[in-house]
Structure 1
Amino acid sequence: MTNHLRTAVSNKEFLVTAEVAPPKGGNPARMLEMAKLLKNRVHAVNVTDGSRAVLRMSSLAASVVLLQNGIEPVCQVACRDRNIIGLQADLMGAQALGITNVLALTGDPVKAGDHKQAKPVFDLESVRLLKVIEKLNNGCDFNDKTLPDEPLDLFAGAAVDPQLKSWSGLKSRFERKLAAGAQFFQSQMITDFDRLEKFMSEIASVSDKPILAGIFLLKSAKNAQFINRCVPGVNIPDSIIQRLADAKEPLEEGIAIAAEQVQQAKDICQGVHLMAVKREDLIPQILDRAGVKSVISDQLSPFEDKSVNSKKFSIIPNKLQVTH
């Protein structure tokens, strides 16, 4: 099966990814409905892993659902909820199921979420997780023991925040993730494009790994104010909030702002990562307004055509079959 994201990175294409949240329950229908609208418009669809420490279906299971329907996922993997054994086990499982794009994350603090009584694990953080992925790709586990059933071949990415207040901290963390094996970077929401340009010229220029600017669809002034208040590290300018407040149709204005930001990013970095919480259906419209057309000419092969070694895996509702 073609890995469109890895191929696009190799070909130095302008990259487009988008984000969907797994369902909060056992029915992935709405997630799938939104993700299907992104087919051929993005290189891959990110599946969040307990974002903001809020309970949802596992990113691994949700990624399988996307892949089953011909949508290439980026499976986010956060260190908060699993120990070293669990993280490695899930990464091996992802490989076996045909999921090869992973985004290594530390994970939001438990106290930010809806299960404040839960115990955080944090055996690893994102840099050490990247190192573990590199070990698994080289055929060894965390303890440097050889994997008897073949190495993994995961395409690992990392998060970056060009708007981090500490410039030295940003530089150090970025360089550590590069050294640990990150192959691409998706940024947090970008509102300061001068800062992004400075990051690209003074820090990211040491590497040829692509940076995807995080573009967030703001639905209203109230939505923007909520994000400023509740999301650490985000500072949406007053000018954007006022623009949304003055608009007769705030959502339409939000789409226009996001499209303008995609166009700005095209002149600065190698891609965009689009986030439109609960309105992923509007992402194609944002891309159209920004002049970004379809990025993939062919569909992914159906999941049931994926062969792993000599075994053929196929998924049918509520059941995974393995036939030799």
Structure 2
Amino acid sequence: MNNPCPPLSRLQQGIHRGEFLITAEVMPPKGGNPAQMLQMAQLLHPWVHGINVTDGSRAVLRMSSLAAASLLQQHHLEPIYQLACRDRNRIALQADLLGAHGLGIRNVLALTGDPVKAGDQPKAKAVFEYESVRLLQVIQKLNQGGDSENQPLPDGALTLFPGAAVDPQSGSWSGLQSRFERKLQAGAQFFQSQMIVDFDRLEKFMTQIAQGCGRPILAGIFLLKSAKNAHYINKYVPGVQIPEALIQRLEQAEQPLETGITIASEQVQWAQHLCQGVHLMAVKREDLIPEILTRAGLSSTIPAPYTPPAPPDPRVHGAKPAGEIPEK
């Protein structure tokens, strides 16, 4: 029998209404107590269309993202359930997707996953039977009523809402285009980008690759807390190189965290001119995300239909004049 058509998720509704989308990220706890995660998620809820629950980000052991997403769901908070291929074979991936659907979770971000050697369990055995495109293809099959082996699901098709990651700063432009198109063909309904540090590159991606794709692109905005934080990212986060001028701005600040909030709000404003949303990351300081959005001129209610604003002052954001911060 077919499942009745469920109500659209908050994220789906925002996309259908053409709103400027806002998502944010929380990490499940390293232990068994979800209280801090839930507190942060409740603070974020009025501001966002969905809350990403990370799945072993940087290959660090944390609570199951499926369990954490279910806890958010129980507290009437909308999760975006991240699912990485690193730790599961096709049976486990599909089992977790079926379980997520059964729990009422609809938004799923399909990820390949960070390498094991990057994390705190370096002797663990990585699986990687699938990567993100194949995972999207499996979700597409489940939504059509079959599994990876084309066997029918006995109680009908799922209604998962899949998204994917994208890195506009990829070193290979042709590779970026090819992979983006494959994810579109595999059914990705929205895209969240990696941390953006080069907004010229994002603009090029939006105009040369993503234009006309019919799927919202959310720019990844990361709260830099200090110059030390920026140096750490440059050293340990693959594919990200925070500009020296930005690091100097943090180094020269009397209150680096305050400056980091300002920088993130400027980046949100710039993203409003380029794409259809932002995905905010503020590790261990998720409570500051509402302040970032407020300074960017966004309210705590879900925004009205998206109308691109005028570009921010290039002296602040464009990185053109010497000595100014090349806002990525």
Counterparts of 1:216 and 1:170 in 2: how far apart (Å)?
21
User: Are 2:295 and 1:281 equivalent residues in the alignment?
Assistant: no
**Who is 2:79 aligned against?**
73
Match of 1:53 in 2: 59
State the partner residue of 2:156.
150
Amino acid at match of 2:276: Q
1:19 matches 2:25: yes
Shift of 1:39: 1.5
Q: Offset of 1:70 from its aligned partner?
A: 1.3
What is the Cα deviation at residue 74 of structure 1?
0.1
Residue 213 (str. 1) matches residue 225 (str. 2): no
The CA distance in 2 between the partners of 1:296 and 1:255, in whole Å, is: 21
Structure 1 CA distance, aligned partners of 2:271 and 2:248? 22
1:43–1:295 CA contact under 8 A, matched in 2: no
Q: Secondary structure at the match of 1:272?
A: strand
2:132 is matched with which residue?
A: 126
CA distance in 1: counterparts of 2:302 and 2:273, whole angstroms: 21
2:44 alignment partner, SS class? coil
2:174 to 168, 173, 176: 168
Q: CA deviation at 1:296?
A: 3.5
| Structure 2 CA distance for aligned equivalents of residues 262 and 206 of structure 1 | 22
Q: Which residue of 2 aligns with 1:307?
A: none
2:311 aligned residue:
none
Q: What residue number does 1:138 align with? A: 144
Alpha-carbon separation, structure 2, partners of 1:62 and 1:149: 26
Deviations 1:3-34 (A, max 9, x none): 11011111111000000000011100000111
Q: Which consecutive residues of structure 1, in runs of 5 or more, have no partner in the other structure?
A: 298-324
**Cα deviation 1:147-170 (Å, max 9, x = unaligned):** 001211000000000000110011
Q: In 1, Cα distance between the equivalents of 2:87 and 2:166?
A: 21
| 1:316 paired residue number | none
Q: Secondary structure at the match of 1:93?
A: helix
- The C-alpha deviation readout for 1:275-320, integer Å capped at 9, x for no partner, is 00000000000000001112449xxxxxxxxxxxxxxxxxxxxxxx
Greater strand share, structure number: 1
Q: Distance in 2 between matches of 1:256 and 1:273?
A: 16
RMSD: 0.9
Runs of 4+ in 1 over 2 A off after TM superposition: 294-297
Supply the distance in 2 between the matched residues of 1:139 and 1:207 (Cα, whole angstroms): 26
- Name stretches of at least 5 consecutive residues in structure 2 with no aligned partner: 1-6, 304-328
**What is the aligned counterpart of 1:8 among 14, 32, 45?**
14
Instruction: Give the corresponding residue for 2:261.
Output: 255
Q: SS at 1:267's partner residue?
A: helix
In structure 1, what is the equivalent of residue 40 of structure 2? 34
The residue type equivalent to 2:176 in the other structure is L
Q: Which residue of 2 aligns with 1:180?
A: 186
Name the residue aligned to 1:103.
109
% identical equivalent positions:
69
Q: Check whether the contact 1:80–1:121 (CA below 8 A) recurs between aligned residues.
A: yes
SS at match of 1:119: coil
TM-score relative to the length of structure 2: 0.89
Secondary structure at the residue paired with 1:186?
strand
Query: Deviation of residue 206 (structure 1)?
Result: 3.5
The CA distance in 1 between the partners of 2:249 and 2:75, in whole Å, is 39
Provide the C-alpha distance between the structure 1 equivalents of 2:290 and 2:212, rounded to a whole number of angstroms.
Answer: 33
Q: TM-score, normalised by structure 1?
A: 0.91
Name 2:229's counterpart in structure 1: 223
In the alignment, what sits opposite 2:165? Answer: 159
Cα distance, 1:249 vs. partner?
Answer: 0.2
Q: Give the number of aligned pairs.
A: 297
Tell me, in whole angstroms, the C-alpha distance in 1 between the residues paired with 2:8 and 2:299: 20
Secondary structure of 2:92's aligned partner: helix
Partner of 1:322: none
- How many angstroms does 1:2 deviate by? 4.7
Distance 2:225 2:166 in 1: 24
